[in-house]
Chains A and B, each alone.
Chain A
Amino acid sequence: MEKFRLTLKQTSPRRVLVADDDPVMRHLITTIIKQQEYEVVVANDGREAYCILQSDSQFTAAILDMTMPFLEGLDLIRYMRTEKRLMRIPIMMITAATDIKLMASSFSAGATAFLPKPFTPEQLQSAIRMLLGTRKSNIRAAQIC
């Protein structure tokens, strides 16, 4: 029974944090996530995302733009990976930068996935599905252990 309660607690938040200062990207990403029947919490820049994360850790996943005002996506990842309550949240980094080093930096910082712009609708859908499935996989793996 205790294990069942634990499972419910772990799988209940169907919420995704989306942080991007570009309204077009926010709308696009939000639309796809809502189609997967997840609630979306939106941050218009890195500082807003940081403020949200300080008081709220109930996210299935986070999708962060790399270049945002006030606080960059990479800084947010580093913050999330050092906070115990946030460190298991899968993170996808999105960027229009073409420098391959940024992808390596994202993964080094703790990103789960990386999606360069521009992307097709299919690529975005697949990436989001993969990201949202990551948490379930982690939980299943944790339960098996």
Chain B
Amino acid sequence: MSFERAITTEANVLAFAPVVQTTSDAVDLELLNAFEELQADDGSDLIVELIDLYLADAPQRIIAIREALAASEWVTLKRAAHNLKGSSGNLGVRLVAEICEKLEHLVGPEPMAGAGDLVQLLQSQFDRARETLAAQRRLRCE
């Protein structure tokens, strides 16, 4: 599902309530699994390590975004969204990355309409991605 479709076809952001993903439109698994080629020979699993780091870090970034939104601290919100966009994009968590980009450009010096909806959408898309990433992790650790 593209970001535009997520925005335009789902009038209510609550429609993105977390569901367990069996297939992934939340994460580009091809992109994620491309990191396979960087695997070391020491028995470690780079993809699992990246998933763990992302799932530990991203929720903190989202909390920072939520807090910044509540406090109308737009510069902080923009910076947190920018940071989350980077790792999300690289791990194939594309919708989260796209929403972050929208937030980066939506937020200006003044409170911007739509920021709240985008943050809600960000949370729900992250929840979906988290399910997918956790499932990938389980598969790789079996």
| B3 nearest CB across to chain A (Å) | 15
Contacts of A13 in B (CB 8 A): none
Within 8 A of B (CB), among A113-133: 117-122, 125
A24 at interface, CB cutoff 8 A: yes
- Across chains A and B, the number of contacting residue pairs, with CB separation under 8 Å, is 61
Binds B, one of A26-34, A56-64, A82-90, A134-142: A26-34
Given A31-B40, A31-B46, A120-B34, A25 and B56 touching (CB < 8 A)?
no
| B82 nearest CB across to chain A (Å) | 6
B57 in contact with A121 (CB, 8 Å)? no
Contacts of B26 in A (CB 8 A): none
Given A118-B97, A121-B37, A24 and B82 touching (CB < 8 A)?
no
**Interface code A81-121, partner B: CB below 8 Å = 1, 0 otherwise?**
00000000000000111100000000000000000011111
Complex: chain A residue closest to B83, CB-CB: A22
Within 8 A of B (CB), among A16-61: 21-25, 27-28, 31-32, 35
A96 in contact with B89 (CB, 8 Å)? yes
Binds A, one of B5-13, B47-55, B66-74: B47-55
Could you tell me the dominant secondary structure of chain B's interface residues?
A: helix
State the interface size on chain A (CB cutoff 8 A): 23
Name B86's contact: one of A35, A96, A121 (CB within 8 Å): A96
B56 in contact with A118 (CB, 8 Å)? no
B91 in contact with A24 (CB, 8 Å)? yes
B40 in contact with A24 (CB, 8 Å)? no
Name B87's contact: one of A24, A32, A67 (CB within 8 Å): A24
A24 in contact with B83 (CB, 8 Å)? no
Contacts of B35 in A (CB 8 A): 28, 121
**Interface code B75-106, partner A: CB below 8 Å = 1, 0 otherwise?**
00001001101110111000001000100000
The listed residue with most A CB atoms (<10 A of its CB), out of B38, B54, B97, is B38
**Interface code A72-87, partner B: CB below 8 Å = 1, 0 otherwise?**
0000000000000000
- Which B residues lie at the A interface, using CB under 8 A? 31, 34-35, 37-38, 40, 46, 49-50, 53-54, 56-57, 79, 82-83, 85-87, 89-91, 97, 101
A-B contact pairs, 23 of them (CB 8 A): A22-B86, A23-B53, A23-B56, A23-B57, A24-B50, A24-B53, A24-B54, A24-B87, A28-B38, A31-B38, A31-B46, A35-B38, A65-B86, A67-B79, A95-B86, A96-B82, A96-B85, A96-B86, A97-B82, A118-B86, A118-B90, A121-B34, A122-B37
Q: Which 7 A-B residue pairs are closest in the complex by CB-CB distance?
A: A118-B89, A96-B86, A24-B87, A118-B90, A23-B53, A117-B86, A24-B53
